[in-house]
Structure formats: C-alpha cells, structure tokens
Structure 1
Amino acid sequence: MEININEIIDYYAKSSTSFAGMFFEKREFNDSNVVIDRRTNPFCGGLIISLMGNAHVTLNGTEYMINPGIIVHAGPNMRVCIKNSDDKPWRLAVIHYRIPENEMSCMTFFGSHFSFAIGENIKIPDLIQQLFLSQSSPGSLALFKTKLLFTNLLGEFFDSAKRQLTDNNSKLTETVMEYIRQNHAEQISISQTASYFGLDRRRLAALFKHHVGMTPSNYLIECRILKAKELLQSCSLPVKQVAECVGYSDSLYFSKAFKKITGISPSEFRESGAQSSEDEI
C-alpha cells in the first residue's frame, strides 16, 4: 500500500529508531530464474531500496514493483518473495532497523508493508555504500558514524520524497501557508482563507493533509503559538495583550491553546524563560 509521506515522516520522527544492519541482494543475467522466498527478520523493520534494475517484491501476498526511486518498507516476520521483472540484472539494499518493544503497539507502521516514491537521487547510493562499510568497522567512532549515516540516509529519503510533491498544488499550499503566517494576528478563519484562494474548506484541508501533514486550523494555531512564545520571552506585555497580538480575543482560550501545544501555561513559559536567562548569567 502507499501511505502519505507526511505520515511516514511523522512515524520516523516519533519512534525511537535504531540501525540494526544491512546487506545487499543482487541478480545477474544468468540468474534470471532464481527466486528469493523466505521470511523477513523477526525482530526488525526493513527498507528495501533498488540501486539498479527492476524487481518484483511480494510481502505477505502484496506485490510491489521496485526500481530506483521507489522504497518498500517491510515489517518483521513477513513472507517475502523477490523475483525478476525482466531479464536484466538488479541490485537491492536491505536496511534493518529496530524500535523499542514498548513502542510497537502505538507505532503501527513498524509492522506494516508499504511503499513510497523518492525519485532518483544520486546521493543515496553513495550514502548506502558508506553505511555498509561503516557497519563493519570496529570501535565507538565507527558506531557513532553508522548511527549518523543511517539518520542522514533517512533524511535524504524524506527530502527526496517531499520534492516529488512539488507541483501546482504544492505551490498553492505554500502560498496559503505564507498567507496564514503573515496574517495569523488577524481575526481570520480557515473558511475565509479558503474562499480568499478560491477553494472550499474541504479542498484546503485535503491539500494541507497531503502537503503539510496537519489541518489548516492546526497550522494557524502553531503559527500563533510560535509568535506568542517569542513575545513572552522578548517583552513584558501582559498575557492578555500577547493573546490579542497573535489573534486571540479571548485570553482564556489562548491560554488553553498554548498549554495544549507546549504543556505549560503562558505565564509558566515566561517564568521558565526568565529562569533560564538567570541560569546563563
């Protein structure tokens, strides 16, 4: 199955992912009839990346066509079958990772299979080769470099995937985001914003879900709270006036929204900032 890239990024951002090893699979011209048929690692999630050629990868009965520009995720202990899609050779990298056992029940993507498109990226084969060599080197420095390379590789995957979304809808969404950032202090609503750009509210919500990974309302709130944090730390305006400066006419509602995002009240945030300044001095 295909999953929204923002949901995938959110999964890796929130899970305690750790590199667990990697290897290569390849088929040459004279191996055209050979089929890989086994089960995936029982304890790890896996990312299958094509470095050359095309192959059919089947996970628990679901088939994916994999080629440079497509990544397939496999969950633990899945039936996996890999075979040629044509008579040309192919080469795959398989990267294993772990998450803590206590996260497995809430991080459902770990046990799922899915694919996402990243397009062709000349940096990725080099990063994969560096990761492969680094994992075999002894010592703490090599271990640190391996962790860093794994993180950098994931970042490159996601940067490439996001670039695939650069189309007219993406540009429109970025324009709306800029409008919200510039006008967050005004009494704007999402319905008014949608109408301003000739959209209905549902269409705007769909664009934000696809390109931003959150609703327009949540994006507006985050813009307001971000500015409020800046004001609370840089000036002595009362909380009521800070609320008005970022678009909230009701200071109680502002305080609730602020605490929901940050975990503390505006006053507590201001006090914690002042205490940090004193500590630094």
Structure 2
Amino acid sequence: MEISLNEIIDYYAKADVSFVGAFGERVSPQLKVLDRHTNPAGGGLVIPFSGSACFTFDGKPYVIEPGMVVHAGPGMRLSKEVIGDREWEYAVIHYHIPQHERDEYPLFHKDFSLAHGRSAKVPHLVRQILDIQSIPGAAAKFQTKVLFLSLLQEIFTAACGQPGHEDSKLIEEAMGYIRLNYADELTVQKVADEFSTERRQFSYLFKRHTGMSPIHYLIECRISKAKELLGSPGCSVKQVAEWVGYTDSLYFSKAFKKYTGVSPSEYREGFAL
C-alpha cells in the first residue's frame, strides 16, 4: 500500500524520534553487496550525495540518486548494487523511537522513499552531522540533535514543494523494476502495464523525472551490466548479449558501440592491456 507524504510527516511529528548515529561511505562503481541486514535496533535514512545505486529492502528495490531519501526499518534484508560507472557516495542516519511507541507507529518498521528535489540544504546538513557527531561533550551532542531535527524539517519542507510526489514514486519504482528485469524482453508497454499506466503518459512522466526515455534507461542498464561481464574472460560476446537481454549479438554490438564508442571486443581488449 502506498505511503503518502502526509503520513510520513505525521509519523515524525508524533513519534519521539531520537538521533543515534550516522556514517558516510564512498563505494566503487558496480560493487554488489548481498544478504546483509539493516541495523536491528533502529530505523535508518539513506541519503545520497552522488552517483546511483539500487538498494533492495526485504525484496523491494529502490534506485537511489541525489534528490531523494529512502527509509529502512530495523533488521530488514538488504542488498545493494552501484549503478553505472560513477562512484556512489552516501550517508545513513540512524534513529530510534521508544519501544512502547513501535506498535503505535508502524512506519518505523517499513521502507519508503520521498523526493526533496535536490535541496542543497539536505546534503549540507548531513555533512554537518557527520562532522560534529564525533566531537565529545554535551554541546556537540545537543548540536547534533538540533541538526537532525533541522534535516527532517528541510526534507519535508522540500518534499512538500515538489510537484507530482506520487508520480516520482511511480517512476522510482519503475526504474527499480527495469534494473532488476533488464535481461527480459522488456518494452515500454510492458513496464507501463506493470504499473497500470497508459504508455504515452508513462513515457512522458519517465522523461520528465529522469531526463531520458524508458528505452534509453533500459539500454543504459544493459550496457552497464555488459561492461561488467566483458571484464570476465570466461564468456563470449554472444553469451554476454544473451545475458543482458539481446537475442541478436550483432544488434548488441552496434548498441554497445553507439553508447560506449568502442565495440564489445575492443572494450574487452582494454581489460587485457
């Protein structure tokens, strides 16, 4: 069931949320982490600085990019994969609510996301939290608490100012669906049907929110995975083509060269140098 922005704000307004800690991380392109779990003791907010990654919480994927925040509940099954050739930099803010409130506020245990529209204040506040939390003393602890509440306020204020919040959610989920099913015989119509949306409307919303067409995004996902596979000497170009969703290896080679500037064989030779 869809969680509305008003429900999310109402949860944070009423629950006794407390900052626990935060960490930042830089991750190399195409890194995969499987079969992990989120913090068992509290909730977490994943806030990206740069790059793109697919996080999956209890089987539900989120393509996370700057301009959005994803919430995960405690003890969720977690997998993550960096998308594309850029380094993925992000932070996680951990918080908790009292034990006696956890049944009253079920959102604490759930995953959800919201877009803040690339508010410059959000990453700035997160970096301040990362810097100050390690400073000893009551003053720094109090300042971190204030910054955490200011961060929540900025996220919600910016999210309320975003047009089409529900549309953003739909496209985010569609991107995750494409990322997980790129090797299938996907079409724009099939993806639009998956999300009960008319094809032209879906294509319009997708381009408005991502700057590219659904087909362009699908090809990018396939080419990104193909690059990874071509780095392994044990599979042929034909096999790589099939594994990323192309039944015609010649068509795959043309698409690969169009998007990378080199053929699959030339790209593979680059690894051997």
Bin of the TM-score, shorter chain as denominator length? 0.5 to 0.7
Aligned to 2:43: 45
- Matched position secondary structure for 1:8: helix
Q: Secondary structure at the match of 1:148?
A: helix
Q: Is the 8 A contact 2:68 2:113 kept in 1?
A: yes
Read off the aligned partner of 1:14 and give its amino acid letter.
K
User: Which residue of 2 is the match for residue 118 of structure 1?
Assistant: 116
Match of 2:203 in 1: none
Instruction: Look up the match of 1:5.
Output: 5
Which ranges of structure 2 fall in alignment gaps of 5 or more residues?
166-273
Q: How many residues align?
A: 165
Letter of the aligned partner of 1:68 in structure 2?
A: P
RMSD: 1.6
SS in 1 for 2:117: coil
Q: Displacement of 1:36 after TM fit? A: 5.2
Match of 2:243 in 1: none
Q: Is residue 145 from structure 1 mapped to residue 169 from structure 2 by the alignment? A: no
User: How far apart, in 1, do the equivalents of 2:98 and 2:52 lie?
Assistant: 33
1:195-251, Cα deviation, whole Å (9 max, x unpaired): xxxxxxxxxxxxxxxxxxxxxxxxxxxxxxxxxxxxxxxxxxxxxxxxxxxxxxxxx
Distance 1:128 1:36 in 2: 26
Contact 2:24/2:130, CA 8 A, preserved across alignment: no
1:88 and 1:128 mapped to 2: Cα distance?
21
2:79 is aligned to 81
- Is residue 2:67 matched to residue 1:69? yes
Aligned to 1:163: 161
Q: Give the aligned partner of residue 17 of structure 1.
A: 17
Task: Tell me if the contact between 1:68 and 1:120 (Cα under 8 Å) persists in the aligned partners.
Answer: yes
Rounded Cα–Cα distance in structure 2 between residues aligned with 1:4 and 1:128: 24
Structure 2: distance between partners of 1:59 and 1:27: 19
Describe the SS at the equivalent of 1:35.
strand
* Distance in 2 separating the partners of 1:25 and 1:76: 20
Deviation (angstroms), 1:25? 2.7
Letter in 2 for 1:129: R
**What letter corresponds to residue 54 of structure 1 in structure 2?**
S
Among 100, 103, 127, the residue aligned to 1:102: 100
Q: Is the 8 A contact 1:3 1:116 kept in 2?
A: no
Alignment-mate amino acid for residue 38 of structure 2: T
Which structure is larger by alpha-carbon Rg, 1 or 2?
1
Letter of the 2:59 counterpart: G
3-state SS, counterpart of residue 73 of structure 1: strand
Name the CA distance, whole Å, in 1 between partners of 2:62 and 2:164.
24
TM-score for the superposition, normalised by structure 1? 0.56
Q: Deviations over 1:102-137 (max 9, x none)?
A: 000010000001111111011111111110111101
SS in 1 for 2:135: coil
Post-superposition offset of 1:24: 1.5
Q: In structure 1, how many angstroms separate the alpha carbons of the residues matched to 2:149 and 2:163?
A: 22
Aligned mates of 1:132, 1:38 — CA distance in 2 = 23
Q: Percent identity?
A: 47
TM-score, normalising length: structure 2: 0.58
Distance in 2 (CA, whole Å) between partners of 1:23 and 1:56 is: 19
Letter in 1 for 2:40: P
Counterpart residue identity of residue 130, structure 2: F
Matches within 5 A, 1:1-281: 2-29=2-29, 32-35=30-33, 37-165=35-163
Q: Which runs of 4 or more aligned residues in structure 1 lie more than 4 Å from their structure 2 counterparts after TM superposition?
A: none
Unaligned runs of 5+ in 1: 168-281
